[in-house]
Amino acid sequence: MTQQAADVLVAHELRKTFKKVEAVRGISITVAPGERVGLLGPNGAGKTTTLLMLLGAILPDTGSVTIVGHRLPRHRSRAMESVGFAAGYLPLPDRLKVREALGVFAGWYGVRNEKQAVNEALERFEITQLADRLCNALSSGQRTLVGIVKATLHNPKLLVLDEPTASLDPDVALRVRTGLLQFCASTGAALLITSHDMREVEMLTERVIFLANGQVVANDTPAAIAATFGYDDLEGVFMQLADEARRA
Amino acid sequence: MSWHRIRVVMRRHAYVLWRAPHRWFDIGFWPLMDIILWGSLGTYVARNSTSATSSTPYLIAGIMMFHILFQSQIAVGTGFLEETWSRNLLNVLTTPVTEFEYLAGTAAFGLFKVLFALATLSITAFGFFRFELSSIGWSILPIALILTIVGWSAGIANIGIVLRFGQGAEILIWGSNFILMAFSGVFNPVDALPGALQPIARILPSTHAFNALRAVLDGKPLPGNEIALGVIGAFVMLLAGFSFTAWMLHVFRRRGFVTRFS
């Protein structure tokens, strides 16, 4: 068994150009089982495009994505059985109650006992009281929480979260981080997360991939990256890269 | 392909229908209005005509059968639009549901909407104009099959256009029904259309379905050649709709249009 086959995510040399603008320029990412990885970078660094290519929602011009041994786009459906995705900016289906929407997603993910999976996932993030609320009647923070619950329903091998705590109060955000750490520890799920909150990244991840101008500019532990750039923490690194990206 | 995921797609749309009163307009109110409009028109024309044949059954049967196409089309089209309206498309695209499963689920749920609309149409047509749908007999089945498949095909093709051109193109979900209504000879034989437009009408499978319907209403046997042409054409149209939308989905993924909907 090669290292590549063992990794839950292997993205090799991804490139994407939109109307002559090179958004992603040869990005390679691997995530090992159970590993927690942060994908960081200033606005326009190519994070969202990369993430959407990893999820099969955008096709790369060149390069390949393999999730749990399933190559995209041909085996997207099989690959997505092992992936949970949530984004802070994504709403949930209108006109469905939270329990119904989660049941639908559980069904799509192939969960056998939908009801039990929904109850367990709601309890994990302490939001059982939202179960009978309509999705479109939730606050943005509550919606984000339900989105994260949705992503964990089927005990995925890879959890992909895009700015998951951006709209949450600090206490709720902390609860989410704690819940995510517990989830990853108990299920062995790997985590790939983007965030603009450097403290969150330092708390949640073991390794950080910094992107700037569509390329990987650093790939190491948060402490090692901070030390390499001559800072005490990731905040300084982020500010420096954002400044350099603006000048480029 | 997973039957379970298809059933879940149907459940997802059943929830929406249950909680969206305006969706009941599609299968309850508009059919009622159509029967009143076309039934009244038929009654008026018959009253002022010297012909021994009343036009009322032709108009009512025409609009009833057109609703099969209409409901099938909007069930698929608005089923997909439901995901874009609630910006849920990226959530769906990142689940194991395949494009085929999603379309199959919306199309199958559309059959329920067709049945509900037909019930509304039948009851009101009988109540107001004493027209019985059963007068068409078993011939209704192959005619309905053609119209259902044409409706699905148009709905699927419309999804492709929305994927490619964005939500502004969703007007086609409704607009395409008017095009199909005008060119399919719903109420009149194709030769009543302007000459230049008749070739367009003749290549539509729905035109053959309505030709067959008029033959049955005339008291003739179900014309096998019209049904055969209609069925073959409908499946060709379905294949073309799938192919077109698969191509548009590829363009959608290649150009990163998903960000338009999220």
User: Given CB atoms, is A87 within the 8 Å cutoff of chain B?
Assistant: yes
pLDDT under 70: residue ranges of chain B = 52
For chain A, what is the domain count?
Answer: 1
- Widest CA span of chain A, in angstroms? 53
Cβ atoms of B65 and B31 within 8 Å: the answer is: no
Residue B115 lies in domain: 3-261
Neighbours of B167 (CB within 10 A): 12
Contact criterion met (CB < 8 Å) for A59 and B254? yes
Asked if B87's CB is within 8 angstroms of A90's CB, the reply is yes
* Counted domains in chain B: 1
Quote the pLDDT of residue A2. 47
State whether residue A58 sits within 8 Å of chain B by CB. yes
Q: Buried b vs exposed e over B192-209: b needs ≥16 C-beta within 10 Å?
A: ebeeeebeebbebbbbbb
| B219 DSSP assignment | T
> What CATH number has the domain bearing residue A194?
3.40.50.300
Reported as a single tens digit per residue, the pLDDT across A236-247 is 888 888 787 777
ipTM of the modeled complex: 0.88
> With an 8 Å Cβ cutoff, are B90 and A87 in contact?
yes
Q: Which residues of A touch B253 (CB under 8 A)?
A: 56-59, 73
- Scan residues 166-185 of A and list those with Cβ closer than 8 Å to B: none
- CB of A93 within 8 Å of any CB in chain B? yes
pLDDT of residue B52: 66
Q: CA nearest B234: which of B151, B115, B111, B141? A: B151
| Separation of alpha carbons B204 and B73, rounded Å | 15
Locate the chain A residue with the closest alpha carbon to B100: A77
Q: Which of B3, B84, B87, B94 to mutate to test the interface with A (most CBs of A within 10 A)?
A: B94
Give the pLDDT confidence of A184-230 residue by residue, as tens digits.
999 999 999 998 888 888 889 999 999 988 999 989 998 898 898 88
Tell me the chain A residues in contact with residue B8 when contact means C-beta distances shorter than 8 Å: 104, 107-108
Domain extent, residue A66, equals 3-247
Inter-chain touch A52–B20, beta carbons under 8 Å: no
